[in-house]
Amino acid sequence: MIDLRSDTVTQPTQNMRQAMAVAEVGDDVYGEDPTVRRLEELAAQLTGKEAALFVPSGTMANQIALGTLAQAGDEVIIGTGSHCYLYEGGAGAALNGLQFQVIGSNGKFTADDVRAAYRPDNHHQSPTTVVAFENTHNRGGGWVWDLNELQDATTAARECGMRLHLDGARIFNAQVASNIPVKTWAEPFDTVTFCLSKGLGAPAGSVICGDQGRIHRAHRLRKMFGGAMRQIGILAAAGLYALEHHVERLAEDHANAKLLAQMLADIPGIILEPATVETNIIWFNLTADVLDATALAKAAQERGVFLSASGKRSLRAVTHLNITQDDCLAAARILGEILIS
């Protein structure tokens, strides 16, 4: 099976499993799990923040972070297609009482977009209090923010008195692709989240990073959302192993994605510009004269290639640590055979 649906399908390596098996544990709700504490300290160090909190999932991490930044009834500015807005089950509204104002194009927005979207507090409107960024941007095709453009937009938000959140689920992909450290990407933000269970290959978990006050509040929200855990050092050990051993290897995923994109672009019926693939995510479209996305995904699955269909003519393929160069070659060959048969 060549599973390109997501980098969430990764399997823990044998060395990671060994680290989990021997992890020192304690009761994390009491702050007594030493492995969790080491993970949180490393996460804070890598992002340049004062403190961090380990939570079960990326959605929980984002929603807790937003809950520390905004009050019910506030508005959050966010880019098109962002995970916080599109893929978290309406949690922003249901759990935090927030509304979103979507700006920009393909997930990107400018300083001028931020200024134009800002609404000051008055009793007729929801006050705009937070701007949320995503880096890398999943729905946009795994692209990495231009650092200067990001800094201009965050500066504009600060000038309007707004707070800042970074959904950095794949921030280490951004670091590897740009050669810009995570700490630099994270510097403008009040809260930063990143995922351990995507390209980094851990079985579960995300981390929220921020100042001491926000992380203190985040502990309360984690409890409210049902995310408090006990002897969780077993999972934290996987996250520690991932941060210590799986970051630089993300370059392999990026190279495989670019190779796969180049081969897909040569297949009749596929619309794809390989130069747009910056990290490990490929979105491609199908022309009107071939199978639709669902039919192609089904036919590919029957031959051992798993893809994610989105809408009638769009699909996603994601490379990760369980995908080799040979897998990419085989997947492209199979998709080509299906589309030209």
In this predicted structure, the answer to whether residue 328 has a pLDDT above a threshold of 90 is yes
For 59-75, the pLDDT digits (tens) are 999 999 999 999 999 99
For 206-245, the pLDDT digits (tens) are 999 999 999 999 999 999 999 999 999 999 999 999 999 9
Confidence of residue 122 (pLDDT cuts 50, 70, 90): confident
Q: Where are the domains of the chain?
A: 11-245, 249-340
> In sequence order, what are the beta bridge partners of 210?
51, 191
* Per-residue confidence (pLDDT) for residue 121, from 0 to 100: 83
* Per-residue confidence (pLDDT) for residue 255, from 0 to 100: 98
Helix extents (H) in the chain = 14-21, 34-47, 58-69, 83-86, 91-94, 111-117, 147-159, 171-178, 182-186, 212-224, 233-245, 250-265, 293-302, 325-340
CATH class of the region 249-340? alpha beta
Percent of residues, the chain, with pLDDT higher than 90: 98
Domain 11-245 has CATH 3.90.226.10: no
Q: Residue 78: is it exposed, middle or buried by C-beta count within 10 angstroms (0-12/13-18/19+)? A: buried
Give the span between the Cα atoms of 192 and 231, in whole angstroms.
25
User: Are 11-245 and 249-340 equal in CATH topology?
Assistant: no
* Per-residue confidence (pLDDT) for residue 123, from 0 to 100: 87
Entry pTM? 0.96
For 274-323, the pLDDT digits (tens) are 999 999 999 999 999 999 999 999 999 999 999 999 989 999 999 999 99
* Per-residue confidence (pLDDT) for residue 49, from 0 to 100: 98
